[in-house]
Structure 1
Amino acid sequence: MFHLKNVSRRFGSHLAVDTVNVEIPQGQMVGVIGRSGAGKSTLLRMINRLVDPTSGSIHFGDTEVSSLSGERLRNWQRDCAMIFQQFNLVPRLDVLTNVMLGRLNHRPTVLSILNIFGREERIMAIAALERLGIEQTALQMAGTLSGGQQQRVAIARALMQNPKMLLADEPIASLDPLNAKIVMDALRDINEREGITVITNLHTLDTARNYCERIIGMAVGQVVFDGPPSELTADAVRAIYGTGADGSQIDETMTSTSINIAAPSAPVVLASERLESANPKPLALAGL
């Protein structure tokens, strides 16, 4: 069980997150929705401890995450992988190396400094790329990929951490509908097959309804809705997004990515299944 207890975060006089209480069982896929500035990103950054709460506490099982420091904090940030809207890849490194960087907190410091990765880590990285359907990009510079490909590389890097929880901060905000669908399909596959808790910030109601078993709505730093998609009524949407300038109901199409498109997309397949029939060429190219 993951538990936020009375968590708040203040930046000067601005209260970005206001007394949030949330419990999330292991294995749920949770979408956090709300207007820009509602506190969604700050909430995820506190969970990962990129930002410390001003008050309250964060717990994962018997561990108080909000009090961790040093090596124990680094271990938590390894177990709680973060995927960012802007991908946070190293553009001048090849894709394979970017993915292997997800192993940094699993290996000796000296090897990390020297950027030395072993054969087993290379195989893991190729398997992660195969799972996301982009193994053919392994030796390309990350900066040459499209936005959708870069986001899939970022997910592969997160998988290399063997996380217990996966946080995604607006993972599809800068993607076209087809790539958005591929990325969301991948996150749902990870959640369902590995049982990893996935918490993702989303601007779009249709995406949250289609992919998340639980939706948390935030407004002005507070949780104003917490429940399944079936309970996200017009009144709940109004509480989360407010109304138009003329007091009219918010039209959900205003937040739509048109993610339910008919265009085919490559199915997300487990690495073990892909490896059985994979073309060995990418492995050979990677020096394996």
Structure 2
Amino acid sequence: MLELTGVSRRFGTHTAVDSVTLSIPEGQMVGVIGRSGAGKSTLLRMINRLTAPSDGEIRFKGKPVSSLTGTSLRNWQRDCAMIFQQFNLVPRLDVLTNVMLGRLNHRSTVLNMLSIFSPQERAMALMALERLGIVQTALQMAGTLSGGQQQRVAIARALLQQPKLILADEPIASLDPLNAQIVMDALRDINSQDGITVITNLHTLDTARTYCERIIGMAGGKVVFDGAPGELSTEAVRMIYGAGNDGAEISEAITSTSITPRPAAVQPTKSTGPLQAAHRAKARSGIALPA
């Protein structure tokens, strides 16, 4: 369980996140919604410890996160994978190498300095790319891909961290509706099939209702709604997003990406080893693997 108790973050005189207390059980798919500036991104950055809380405590499975330093902090950021709106790939590296960078915190410093990856790590990367439907891009430079493809590469890289928790900060904000659907389908599949907790910031109400079993609404740095999608009433939406200049209710069409979810993809069975599954991807990627 992830627990936040009285967590706040101040930047000078501005309070971005204000005394947030939450408990998120393992395996939930949680959507955090709210207007720009509501504190959504700062909340996720504090959970990952890219930003330190000003007050309060963050704990995961009873262990303190908010006070970690050094190797313990790096290990937490390995276990708590972060997916960003702007992808954060290395454009001049090929897709396969970008994905394998997710293994850095599992490896020795010497291997990282020499950029030596094992056949098993290459196999893991190919499996992740195949799972996300983009194994054919493995040898392309990451900077040549479309935005939707780059976001799927970022998700594949996160999978190679073998995380216990995935945080996605506005993962579909810069994508068209079709690519937004593909990315959200991928996050849902990871949550449902791997049992990994996923917390994602979203602007769109329909996406949160479609994909998330729990919705947290933020306004002015505070949590003003926390419940199931069916409990997200007109009054709750008004608390989260406010009203128009004329006092009318906000139109949900403004926060829509017109997503209709697709059936979950079929994944390799647990009995399939990584090299066997990767060999099935070889024909598409053109990458030689060990026998």
TM-score range, shorter chain: over 0.9
Q: Which amino acid in 1 is paired with 2:253?
A: T
The aligned residue for residue 243 of structure 1 is 243
Aligned-residue offset at 1:113: 1.2
The aligned residue for residue 256 of structure 2 is 256
CA gap of 1:218–1:60, structure 2 versus 1, over 3 A, is same
2:81 aligned with 1:81:
yes
1:55-112 Cα distance to aligned partner (Å, 9 max, x none): 0000001210001111011000000000000000000000000000000000001111
Q: How does 1:22-61 map to 2 (within 5 A)?
A: 22-61=22-61
Aligned-residue offset at 1:259: 1.2
In 2, Cα distance between the equivalents of 1:203 and 1:161?
A: 27
Structure 1 contact 138–282 (Cα < 8 Å) conserved: no
Q: Which amino acid in 2 is paired with 1:65?
A: V
CA gap of 1:216–1:18, structure 2 versus 1, over 3 A, is same
Q: How does 1:84-163 map to 2 (within 5 A)?
A: 84-163=84-163
2:283 aligned with 1:281:
yes
SS state at 1:278 partner = helix
Q: How does 1:138-287 map to 2 (within 5 A)?
A: 138-260=138-260, 268-272=265-269, 275=277, 278-282=280-284, 284-286=286-288
In 1, Cα distance between the equivalents of 2:130 and 2:267?
A: 8
SS state at 1:166 partner = strand
In 2, Cα distance between the equivalents of 1:239 and 1:266?
A: 33
The aligned residue for residue 65 of structure 1 is 65
Structure 1 contact 127–271 (Cα < 8 Å) conserved: no
Structure 2 contact 57–66 (Cα < 8 Å) conserved: yes
Q: Which amino acid in 1 is paired with 2:183?
A: V
Structure 1 contact 41–169 (Cα < 8 Å) conserved: yes
CA gap of 1:276–1:161, structure 2 versus 1, over 3 A, is closer
In 2, Cα distance between the equivalents of 1:266 and 1:209?
A: 16
In 1, Cα distance between the equivalents of 2:18 and 2:66?
A: 16
In 1, Cα distance between the equivalents of 2:237 and 2:72?
A: 39
Q: Which amino acid in 2 is paired with 1:20?
A: V
In 2, Cα distance between the equivalents of 1:45 and 1:56?
A: 14
In 1, Cα distance between the equivalents of 2:212 and 2:6?
A: 24
Structure 1 contact 29–198 (Cα < 8 Å) conserved: yes
Provide the alpha-carbon RMSD of the alignment.
1.7
CA gap of 1:206–1:2, structure 2 versus 1, over 3 A, is same
- The gaps in structure 2 that reach 5 residues or longer are none
In 2, Cα distance between the equivalents of 1:279 and 1:119?
A: 14
- The gaps in structure 1 that reach 5 residues or longer are none
Aligned-residue offset at 1:126: 0.2
CA gap of 1:85–1:27, structure 2 versus 1, over 3 A, is same
Once structures 1 and 2 are overlaid, which stretch shifts more, 91-100 or 265-274? 265-274
In 2, Cα distance between the equivalents of 1:14 and 1:121?
A: 44
In 2, Cα distance between the equivalents of 1:38 and 1:255?
A: 15
Aligned-residue offset at 1:278: 2.7
SS state at 1:285 partner = coil
SS state at 2:245 partner = coil
Q: Which amino acid in 1 is paired with 2:32?
A: V
Aligned-residue offset at 1:114: 1.3
Q: Which amino acid in 1 is paired with 2:282?
A: P
1:187-237 Cα distance to aligned partner (Å, 9 max, x none): 000000111000000000000000000000000000000000000000000
In 1, Cα distance between the equivalents of 2:258 and 2:62?
A: 41
Give the total of aligned pairs: 285
SS state at 1:223 partner = strand
Aligned-residue offset at 1:131: 0.3
CA gap of 1:34–1:286, structure 2 versus 1, over 3 A, is farther
Q: Which amino acid in 1 is paired with 2:17?
A: V
Structure 2 contact 9–55 (Cα < 8 Å) conserved: yes
1:3-44 Cα distance to aligned partner (Å, 9 max, x none): 000000000000000000000000000000000000000000
In 1, Cα distance between the equivalents of 2:175 and 2:265?
A: 18
Identity of aligned residues (%): 71
Structure 1 contact 133–268 (Cα < 8 Å) conserved: no
In the superposition, the TM-score normalised over structure 2's length comes to 0.94
In 1, Cα distance between the equivalents of 2:213 and 2:289?
A: 42
